[in-house]
Amino acid sequence: MSHPKHTDYNGDKLGMWLFLFTELLLFGGLFILYAVYLARYPKEFSAGGHQLNLVLGTINTVILLTSSLLAAMAVTAVQRGQQRLTMGLLGGTVLCAAGFMLIKYLEWSAKIQHGIFPNSPRLIQGAPGESIFFSLYYLSTGIHGLHVLIGAGLLGWVALKVRSGAIHSHDYVLLENSALYWHLVDLIWIFIFPLYYLML
């Protein structure tokens, strides 16, 4: 390769942040819906919130915070040129993502077994506020879970690029932007956790 690749580090990062702002507004909209319906149905929301599993919610919070640490460390590692460590840290992040999704799966299947899912006969016959609570719960954690899957796929792909040498200490903006995406996933959960599991 005789001619150098055109790169724009600051432009790449600016683009990523602009995208993250749209994500913030997407989840912000879901939080507004939550707040409006909480104001209208406080009793039903409280009853719904107490049916969620606090232990599993807390474990998932710790898993995501840890995965975020590993992703942030991976950026440091690639900047320092520690290729194997970068790959290990990214692998750890993906492993945390898998753990998070496994727990989410257990949570959702327990709820579904109890007849709690959007449009289920039990929710249709129950109070309207309760079905709204669980619809918002499934929508918020579902879209968040989708982001976890996308983020994990992205970081796995980036790890392969680190291994092949395409990402290294002089060109790592792809890793940095993927880590930013992963931190956003963590950031959203930081708010979902108290709203749904804790404060009701």
Nearer to another protein, 101 or 187 (CB): 187
Strand partners, 168: 171
Taking the alpha carbons of 62, 63, 64, 67 in that order, is the dihedral positive or negative? positive
Per DSSP, 198 falls in state I
Which amino acid does the sequence have at 172? Y
Nearer to another protein, 68 or 131 (CB): 68
Q: By CB under 8 A, is residue 25 in contact with another protein? A: yes
Site string for another protein, 141-180 (x = CB under 8 A): --------------------------------------xx
Window of 62-70, 101-109, 129-137, 153-161 that interacts with another protein by CB under 8 A: 62-70
Binding another protein by CB under 8 A: which of 30, 52, 71, 90? 71
CB-based burial of residue 7 (10 Å sphere; 0-12 exposed, 13-18 middle, 19+ buried)? exposed
Q: Are 134 and 48 in contact (CB under 8 A)?
A: yes
Spatial CA neighbour of 103 closest among 65, 69, 54: 54
Q: Rule CB under 8 A: which residues touch another protein? A: 9-10, 13-14, 17-18, 21, 24-25, 28-29, 31-32, 35-36, 39-40, 54, 58, 61-62, 65-66, 68-69, 71-73, 75-76, 79-80, 179-180, 183, 186-187, 190-191, 193-194, 198-199
